[in-house]
Amino acid sequence: MRIEQIYTGCLAQGAYYIHSAGESVIIDPLREVQPYLHRLEKDGVVLKYIFETHFHADFVSGHLDLSKKTGAPIVFGPTASPSFDCIIAEDNQLFTVGNVKIQVLHTPGHTMESTCYLLLDADGTPHSLFSGDTLFLGDVGRPDLAQKAAHLTQEDLAGLLYDSLLNKIMPLPNEVMVYPAHGAGSACGKNMMKETMDLLGHQKEMNYALNQPSKEAFIEAVLDGLLPPPSYFPMNVAMNKTGYESVDVVMGNGMRKLRVDAFEAAAESMDVVILDTRAPGEFANGFVPRSINIGIDGQFAPWVGSVLGDVKTPILLITAPGREEETAMRLTRVGFDHLLGHLSGGFETWAGAGKEVDTVNRISPQIFEAEWNKETYVLDVRKETEYAAEHVDEAYNKPLDSINSWFMEMDDSKPFYLHCAGGYRSMIAASILKSRGVHNFKEVDGGFAAIAKTQLPKTDFVCQSKLQKLL
C-alpha cells in the first residue's frame, strides 16, 4: 500500500493518491488530471474509484474529467445529489482497493454530504483518515457555507458538525494519520496549522474545536471570528455539483495567442477583464490601461476568485513570457473558464507597438515617511486582524476582499496613500481603483513590513473620525 499527498500550495489543498495490489483511488482531485494519468501509467495501476469528500467551494474538482478519461466511477457520500452519474455511498459502506478497504464515514456539518474516508489496512486496522473539510489540523471546517442549500442556520450546521466529530472521528484510534483537504491559507477554516498531516491523537490534544466542554461551547467557538466567504464559492459548488466544460477545452482557449490589434479589439468590451499576472513591481512601471494586477507568484487563485467574483467573467490574459499555461491552469482551478486568450509576447509587445500605457505611482516607505503628517489619508487594505495588531497612526482599514463594496464611495479629488503588508495586495487594490477611475493616490512599496522599519507613528487604536472625508 502506498499513500501520496499531492499538495497544491496556492490553494492550500491536498489531493490523495492511494494504490494497493494494482488498484488505486484518488481523493479530491484537482482540475488538471494529466498528472494523475501519468502516475497511473507509471505505476501500472488501474484507477478503481474517484472519491469526493463533498462539493468543494474553493476550487473546481477534476472528478468529471478524470472519470471520463479513466472510466473510474465517482463516489460521493450520503445525501449528495449531483447532476451526473456517480455512486452515492451509504454510511459505513466498504470499498475494496487491492489489499485494503476504504470505509465511508458520513460527517455532515461543513456541508450535508460531507464525508470522511477511513483507510483500513490488509488486517482491517484503521490506518488513515481522509477528513476532507470536516477535520483540519488545528481546526474544523466552517459550518456557514451550506446553510442556504440545507435550509439550516450556521448554528444548526455547527451542531451537526459537533455530532459528526464526537460520534465518528473522536472514537478512532490515536494512531490514525489524518490527511485533511486543506491547510493554512485556505478560506475554508480560520485556525489551520501549516503542517499537512498529523496523528489523530495529537489533534485530540491540541485542536481547540475538539476540546470544547459542550456542544454549545463548540458552536460558539467555531463560529467566532469567521470572515465572510469569498463570493465565488457558491459558483464553484454549482460547477462541482452540476458539471463544467472539459479542462482541455478551457486550456485551449486560454492558450490562444492574440496579437496586439486583436487583443486591443477584444479589450474594448467593458465586460472583459484584462488580467495582468506579472509581479507588482513590473506592473507598476507600465501596464495596459484598465488591467487588473494579481501576481501569479502570490495567492493568485483565491484573490482572483475574491476580487473578480463572477466565474463567468470574460478574461484576457497578460503574463510574463512562458507563464501563459500556468496562469490559465490556475484560473481553471477556481472555475474562471471564460478565457479569451493571451497577449502574444506579453506587455512588451503592447508597449513596443506604441499603445497607451498606464502606471501606478509606487513610492518607497522613506518617501512616505517624509510626506506623512496627521492630516494624511492612508488606506490599509490588510485584513482587520492585521490592522488591529498594529497600523500607521490615523490610517483606515479597508480590506482588499471587500473592495468591490467600498471603492464606489471613493472621492478621486482627495489624494491618499495605499498599502498592505508587503505590496502584493495593495497593487491589486491599486489596479482595481485605477481601472475604475480612481487615480489620485500613491502606493507604498513593501507595505507595512517596510513601513514598520521607519519612524512613522504606529498604533493599535482604531480611529474612523476622518474616514468620511475621504470616502
* Helix/strand/coil for 427: helix
pLDDT exceeds 60 at position 448: yes
Q: What is the pLDDT of residue 469?
A: 46
Residue pair 129/73 in contact (Cβ under 8 Å)? The answer is: no
* Helix/strand/coil for 205: helix
Of 229 and 361, the one with more pLDDT: 361
Q: How many Cβ atoms from other residues are within 10 Å of residue 68's Cβ? A: 11
Q: How far is CA 408 from CA 20, 351, 405, 412, in A?
A: 57, 30, 6, 11
* Percent of the chain predicted with pLDDT > 90: 86
- Assigned C-alpha cell, 64: 468529471
- β-pairing verdict for 126-132 and 177-180: parallel
Q: Which of 319, 301, 314, 336 is nearest to 267 (CA)?
A: 314
Q: What is the pLDDT of residue 11?
A: 87
What is the arithmetic mean of pLDDT over 334-356? 97
Name the band, by pLDDT with cuts 50, 70 and 90, for residue 464.
Answer: low
Average model confidence (pLDDT) for the chain? 94
pLDDT exceeds 50 at position 29: yes
Q: What is the pTM of this model?
A: 0.89
What is the arithmetic mean of pLDDT over 382-394? 94
Cα 280-281-286 angle, rounded to 5 deg: 95
The C-alpha atoms of residue 125 and residue 315 are separated, in whole angstroms, by 50
Q: Which of 453, 387, 420, 189 is nearest to 293 (CA)?
A: 420
| Domains located in the chain, CATH noted | 2-223 (3.60.15.10), 245-352 (3.40.250.10), 362-470 (3.40.250.10)
Condensed to tens digits (0 to 9), the pLDDT of residues 395-440 reads 999 999 999 889 888 888 889 999 999 999 999 999 999 999 999 9
Q: What is the pLDDT of residue 191?
A: 84
Name the band, by pLDDT with cuts 50, 70 and 90, for residue 105.
Answer: very high
The C-alpha atoms of residue 471 and residue 406 are separated, in whole angstroms, by 8
Name the band, by pLDDT with cuts 50, 70 and 90, for residue 327.
Answer: very high
Q: What is the pLDDT of residue 471?
A: 52
Condensed to tens digits (0 to 9), the pLDDT of residues 38-74 reads 999 999 999 999 999 999 999 999 999 999 999 999 9
Residue pair 353/260 in contact (Cβ under 8 Å)? The answer is: yes
Q: Considering only 44-53, 368-377, 455-464, which range has the smallest mean pLDDT?
A: 455-464
Q: What is the pLDDT of residue 139?
A: 97
Q: What is the pLDDT of residue 262?
A: 96
User: Residue holding cell 476580487?
Assistant: 307
Q: What is the pLDDT of residue 41?
A: 97
Condensed to tens digits (0 to 9), the pLDDT of residues 137-147 reads 999 999 998 87
Query: 349 Cβ partners below 8 Å, 6+ apart?
Result: 259, 260, 343
What is the arithmetic mean of pLDDT over 110-122? 97
Name the band, by pLDDT with cuts 50, 70 and 90, for residue 463.
Answer: low
Q: What is the pLDDT of residue 367?
A: 98
Name the band, by pLDDT with cuts 50, 70 and 90, for residue 468.
Answer: very low
The C-alpha atoms of residue 104 and residue 93 are separated, in whole angstroms, by 5
What is the arithmetic mean of pLDDT over 268-279? 92
Name the band, by pLDDT with cuts 50, 70 and 90, for residue 457.
Answer: very high
Condensed to tens digits (0 to 9), the pLDDT of residues 289-323 reads 999 999 999 889 889 988 998 999 999 999 999 99
Q: Considering only 2-6, 15-19, 269-273, which range has the smallest mean pLDDT?
A: 269-273
State the sign of the Cα–Cα–Cα–Cα dihedral 201, 205, 206, 211: positive
Condensed to tens digits (0 to 9), the pLDDT of residues 284-293 reads 999 999 999 9
What is the arithmetic mean of pLDDT over 73-84? 97
pLDDT exceeds 70 at position 96: yes
pLDDT exceeds 80 at position 194: yes
